[in-house]
Structure 1
Amino acid sequence: MWRFGILTFLTIVLAGCSFITIDDPQPKEEEQNEPYAEPEQLINETPKIEISEVEEGSIEEQTNLQGFIEAVLHLDWRTRKNSDAEPIQYMAFGDSLTRGIGDESKQYGYTNRLVEVLERWPAITEVELDNRGKNGRRSDQLLKLLESGHYDEELPYVDFMTMTLGGNDIMKIVKADLFSLNKEMFDKELISFEARYRNIVAEIRARNSDAPLLLIGFYNPVSIITDEYTPFETIIDEWNDVIAQIATEDVNACFVPISDLFETNEGMVYHTDFFHPNASGYEQMTGRIIDYMKLCDIEQMSAGRIGIEE
């Protein structure tokens, strides 16, 4: 706030430097009825004002003030970026939510929207996005890719990561035995899911130990089909709780809950498949991610490289 106050004050000062006041008293009442002067007369009677010295002084003063702002506030006058602003590498892992399936605006869901927000932050010059999301991807598939070294070349140089997983692990159970589902089936699979998820984070950290990692939860699309309570609410909550717990065990990880954003379709957040978010849904996801980046202090996690907008 103090930087904003100083900048506002100096802006007013700079603006004031460019003003030149010319006294132009109103004509006397009796002169208002006089006929219009001839063009030559108007030219001859135009007052001559010497402003070159004022302009030169104004320019010099503006230059000095701009230099002061850049030096004290560490602000680039042209780009409005911090003088030490840097580009960052962003890698997104996960399933169809990371890929952006359902986004009719073709912005790849939350990932491109997140890039647009981050590139407005003063500590970041640009964000290079590497979106590795794939429709239908499960935790066992991503773990296999990590263990095989599929991301070894890129991961050490990544500055920031997000991940969405879990929805397809649950859907695999549903599809396997749709007509004889019971909660015990999901509880049993949750144990395996937790082990795989932990191994995924461990594999990522073995290649990149410091970059902030946002572990994004998932939601229950069945909730918009029926108004009645179903066991899926409890199942989704328990699986999200496991992801949240894993996030607390990593000093540079943060859990982002999104299930409440998709409890109903009152805000028209679902795609026409009633399973994936639409553009509006991804907008809300992006907003939630930004909120939790601030809540989890992403600036401290990244040692200042991802400085939050002031």
Structure 2
Amino acid sequence: MKHQEAWKYFGMAASAAMVFFGLRQFAPAYQVRQFKKNPQVTGGYLESLERETLYHIGLGDSVARGYGSQRKGFVGIANQLLEQKLNKPFHLENFGKDSITSDKLLSMMTEDHMQVSIGQADIVTINIGGNDILKIAMGKGPMEVITAFRAIKNSYHENITEIVRQVRELNSECIIVLNELYNPVPVTEPHYSASVKLVDIWNAVLYKLAAKDPKIIIIPSARLLLASDRDTWAYDEIHPNDNGNEKMAEMMVQLLLTPPPGRQGINIAERIRKSRRRFQTN
């Protein structure tokens, strides 16, 4: 599939969401904004681990794998930054695969090797869901897209919830990092406005999961990789380049190493603004 077609499918899925559910279904956007004002942070946990080597597992799709990056994507860059900041090695094992959907990732989690790796991990980073959206519209007519939206949205929500549950069942101590879906549709495309709202719907489930688990952090990639400055972060029509991956990685590490509010507050909005300014001047 050509990436430009992916823009079209993404936008068609977004428009279907608006037609089928109406604007009331975009209420999760408010919930997401409220959570982002006070994001969960886990500073102190990794620093407290006395093992000589820490373990980091990547799960998900081509963005998790690092497609379009010379530095192993945001997962690999974050790993390098953690090694530098904590002055100890992080063993990285990345199970990311191109084009997979959440149901495929869920089926992969039955593999013995993956289960063993998750069980010994200190960090499990997950990026999944973009291909689920493309699946809504691919090869379908307008009415078929509308009909498919609810089923695939519900399936994604069930799958990501089960993926996180299984990770936590295999490893009760690790930090789980969930990466938001960002919007790849350019502002000039006719489906852009609808796609912004669709991203809110897709990301809302991540925040529901984080609200139940204090050791889940969420990278706010939808606010880091903006359509208005996509020339600075896009490798192609869908994937981030190394600048985009670095933005996500730096925010991930900041959230991992920032102490909880009881010890030191965090202003995520200011961190995002600083990140944008730095990359715009490069």
TM-score by length of 1: 0.62
Residue 240 of structure 2 corresponds to residue 277 of structure 1: yes
Give the equivalent residue in structure 1 for 2:256: 293
Selected match of 1:109 from 70, 73, 95: 73
Give the equivalent residue in structure 1 for 2:121: 158
Q: Conserved in 2, the CA contact under 8 Å of 1:95 and 1:138?
A: yes
Q: Where do 5+ consecutive residues of structure 2 fail to align?
A: 1-46, 264-282
Question: Judging changes above 3 Å, is the alpha-carbon distance between structure 1 residues 182 and 107 closer, same or farther for their aligned structure 2 residues?
Answer: same
Q: What's the offset of the Cα at 1:220?
A: 1.6
Selected match of 1:243 from 197, 206, 214: 206
Q: Conserved in 1, the CA contact under 8 Å of 2:136 and 2:145?
A: no
Query: Rg: which structure is higher?
Result: 1
Q: Conserved in 1, the CA contact under 8 Å of 2:219 and 2:248?
A: no
Residue-by-residue CA offset, 1:189-212 (whole Å, 9 max, x unaligned):
222211111111111122111100
Question: Judging changes above 3 Å, is the alpha-carbon distance between structure 1 residues 127 and 219 closer, same or farther for their aligned structure 2 residues?
Answer: same
CA distance in 1, matches of 2:52, 2:155: 40
Selected match of 2:97 from 130, 134, 138: 134
Give the equivalent residue in structure 1 for 2:65: 99
Q: What is the percent sequence identity of the aligned residues? A: 26
Selected match of 2:52 from 86, 95, 98: 86
CA distance in 1, matches of 2:216, 2:97: 22
**Map of 1:46-195 to 2, 5 A cutoff?**
86-103=52-69, 106-122=70-86, 124-177=87-140, 179-180=142-143, 185-195=148-158
Question: Judging changes above 3 Å, is the alpha-carbon distance between structure 1 residues 147 and 256 closer, same or farther for their aligned structure 2 residues?
Answer: same
AA aligned to 2:98 is N
Q: What's the offset of the Cα at 1:183?
A: 5.5
Question: Judging changes above 3 Å, is the alpha-carbon distance between structure 1 residues 187 and 128 closer, same or farther for their aligned structure 2 residues?
Answer: same
CA distance in 2, matches of 1:89, 1:180: 46
Q: Conserved in 1, the CA contact under 8 Å of 2:68 and 2:242?
A: yes
Residue-by-residue CA offset, 1:162-213 (whole Å, 9 max, x unaligned):
0001101101112142544656643332222111111111111221111001
Give the equivalent residue in structure 1 for 2:280: none
Question: Judging changes above 3 Å, is the alpha-carbon distance between structure 1 residues 178 and 210 closer, same or farther for their aligned structure 2 residues?
Answer: farther
Residue 182 of structure 2 corresponds to residue 219 of structure 1: yes
Aligned length: 215
Residue-by-residue CA offset, 1:80-126 (whole Å, 9 max, x unaligned):
x99957310110101111111112xx21111221111111223x411
| Higher RCO, 1 vs 2 (CA within 8 Å, ≥6 residues apart) | 2
CA distance in 2, matches of 1:116, 1:145: 26
Q: What's the offset of the Cα at 1:138?
A: 0.9
Q: Conserved in 1, the CA contact under 8 Å of 2:125 and 2:178?
A: yes
Q: Conserved in 2, the CA contact under 8 Å of 1:143 and 1:196?
A: yes
Q: Conserved in 1, the CA contact under 8 Å of 2:60 and 2:127?
A: yes
Give the equivalent residue in structure 1 for 2:160: 197
CA distance in 2, matches of 1:182, 1:200: 26
Q: What's the offset of the Cα at 1:224?
A: 4.3
TM-score by length of 2: 0.68
Question: Judging changes above 3 Å, is the alpha-carbon distance between structure 1 residues 83 and 232 closer, same or farther for their aligned structure 2 residues?
Answer: closer
Question: Judging changes above 3 Å, is the alpha-carbon distance between structure 1 residues 116 and 175 closer, same or farther for their aligned structure 2 residues?
Answer: same
Q: Conserved in 2, the CA contact under 8 Å of 1:85 and 1:125?
A: no
Q: Conserved in 2, the CA contact under 8 Å of 1:224 and 1:263?
A: no
Q: Where do 5+ consecutive residues of structure 1 fail to align?
A: 1-80, 301-310
Q: Conserved in 2, the CA contact under 8 Å of 1:183 and 1:235?
A: no
Q: Conserved in 2, the CA contact under 8 Å of 1:183 and 1:231?
A: no
Give the equivalent residue in structure 1 for 2:196: 233
Q: What's the offset of the Cα at 1:263?
A: 2.4
